A and B are shown apart, each in its own frame.
Chain A
Amino acid sequence: MASKVLHAIFTDDDILMQAVKALREKKYSINEVFCPFPVHGLDKALGLPGTRLAITSFLYGLVGLAVSTWMMNFIMIEDWPQNIGGKPSFSYLQNMPAFVPIMFEMTVFFAAHLMVITFYLRSKLWPFKKAENPDVRTTDDKFLMEISVNENNVQAIAEVLHENGASEIKLIDNK
């Protein structure tokens, strides 16, 4: 980890994208970009890998389906197969249409909630979490880019940032 970082402030997302592309072309590594709103295409410009949340959600959905199937098979068929209104409780398959609404809802419930929790864990979000905000203005209308620098390239990077429309550039000690 470099001991110093540059904080560059941008006022416009188009200019920010341009600066990201310019820095990536010169192979400088960008630590983090703070934006007040999602900037379309920024993840691609930064070269971030795609999310795998959808895959986890699919797997969670399968878990939900399995849980509901097991639960109702145990309760309605194995444990106490009563005759309720003439419904055939001899085997799971025979009575399955009645279970489908629950199987569906449990699948959706598991897929949705576990995926959301996964999202919170992966992005380290929880109540009373200390906000990691380098500059309060980034939640309103400014974009901030953080770049690691060392003695040799600080000047060069600052120049690239300046050329690409950064409105403020600060050199900060990395904590």
Chain B
Amino acid sequence: MYTMSSKLKLFSLALIIVGAIGLIYGFIDAPSSVEDVKEMLHAEDAAHSGEVAMGSSGVDEAAHADEHAEHVFHQLQNKPWAAIYVPALFIFLISLGVFVFYALQNVSQAGWSPVLFRVMEGITSYLVPGGIIVYIILLLSTLHLNHLFIWMDPEVVANDVIIQNKTAYLNTPFFLIRAAIYMIGWILFSKLIIKNSRKLDEEFSLTLHKRNFKLSAMFLVFFIVTESMMSWDWIMSIDTHWFSTLFGWFVLASILVSAVTTIALVTIYLKGKGYLEHVNNSHIHDLAKFMMGFSIFWAYLWFSQFLLIWYANIPEEVTYYVSRLEDYPVLFFGTVIMNWLLPMLILINSDFKRVNWIVIFAGIIILVGNYMNFFVLIMPGTVGESWFIGIPEISSILLISGIFIFTVFSALAKAPLTVKHSAFLEESKHFQY
């Protein structure tokens, strides 16, 4: 049995407290009126000195400045909201991805992974708190407490024919119902499958094994449909005027690579603490292979989406990349280096994939890179050029990862770290690559 060390508990609580304080500061620090923003912009202009005087000063320019100030005001007001939304969604999707990987192992009858099942089940337990957090943020958005999704604003929709044509799908009640269906479905499947796995600990039964196989298969079908719709709803609809067909796959690749990385990191941590006696470096090797494979898959989809839009250069869809290239060049291309180039070069070596610290190193790069990926997906549509990775952004990462660590490791302590019965357990214990 694993028990969560008091150090880890303290660490996660510290993360939560520091993160919460930082986030609250972020909300207080956001400008509360357009006047504040005007003053701020004025101060910035003054800092840039004399160029302002150029051009005809008149009513036109003043009106333009007012419009600009209001624009920036909305962006800055969105900033703490988007800051918490990115990690909340990202880490929730990691735990979902871990469960998908777990279901895949069940369905493919993998012989190597049963010794890691409990780790995956532990990470999956974050689905409930993470889902609640994401749902609350979505609910608050529909209540107009923020402007993350412009299509939720009736004033915007009234003046926008493109959005009007999409209101059959993009309307708040349907949006919330859909979100509830995805979440309840995912959580229900995870609860059922994990419950069966716990029951298998008491005694091996072929019926339970088969039931889990069927449930996992059904979940995977349900997941691929809901994941695609989830990515339209929660991410793509931020840029309401834009659409892409492979978007769902692109988000899926990001989810899968970060999920496998998280499994590897938690496994290495627990192994290092002396739990997980049956895990050997062949298991780590397999996880690292998945990390590398999925990061290349991510890059493939990233590039496919980019190449097609760049090559055809149709104005109505290319704006998506124009805003990213202009305002987020470092992050935009940084994700490619972090999520593809570095993991590929580090993990291409077979021996490296067995060395714990190298896998951890590559894993941290992948996780940071995929956070950046979600950042670049969400921020341009919500805060635009006013983005910055500052106190609200970092503290919301701390807050969410604190909750994640606390939930996952207390869930890991609830059941033995190795399943007692699984059709492939013996094979998995002696797995050698």
Contacts and interface: CB of A to CB of B under 8 A. Distances in A.
A127 interface: no
B287 to A, nearest CB: 20
A109 interface: no
B310 interface: yes
Interface of A: 54, 58, 86, 97-98, 100-101
A58 B350 CA distance: 13
A97 B348 contact: no
A168 B310 CA distance: 70
A100 B313 contact: no
A113 to B, nearest CB: 19
A39 to B, nearest CB: 16
B350 A97 contact: no
A97 B313 contact: no
A100 B348 contact: no
A98 B311 contact: yes
Nearest to B310: A97
A54 B350 CA distance: 10
B119 to A, nearest CB: 29
Contacts of B311: 97-98
13 contacts: A54-B350, A58-B348, A86-B313, A97-B303, A97-B306, A97-B307, A97-B310, A97-B311, A98-B307, A98-B311, A100-B303, A100-B307, A101-B307
Query: Which are the 8 A-B pairs with shortest beta-carbon distances?
Result: A97-B307, A97-B310, A98-B311, A100-B303, A97-B306, A97-B311, A100-B307, A58-B348
Main SS class of interface, A: helix
A31 B348 CA distance: 33
Contacts of A98: 307, 311
Given A97-B303, A97-B307, A101-B307, 10 more contacts: A54-B350, A58-B348, A86-B313, A97-B306, A97-B310, A97-B311, A98-B307, A98-B311, A100-B303, A100-B307
Nearest to A54: B350
B317 to A, nearest CB: 15
Nearest to B308: A97
B293 to A, nearest CB: 16
Nearest to A98: B311
B351 to A, nearest CB: 9
Contacts of B313: 86
Contacts of B306: 97
Nearest to B351: A50
A97 B306 CA distance: 8
Interface in B295-337: 303, 306-307, 310-311, 313
A48 to B, nearest CB: 16
A113 B313 CA distance: 36
A98 B310 CA distance: 9
A101 B307 CA distance: 10
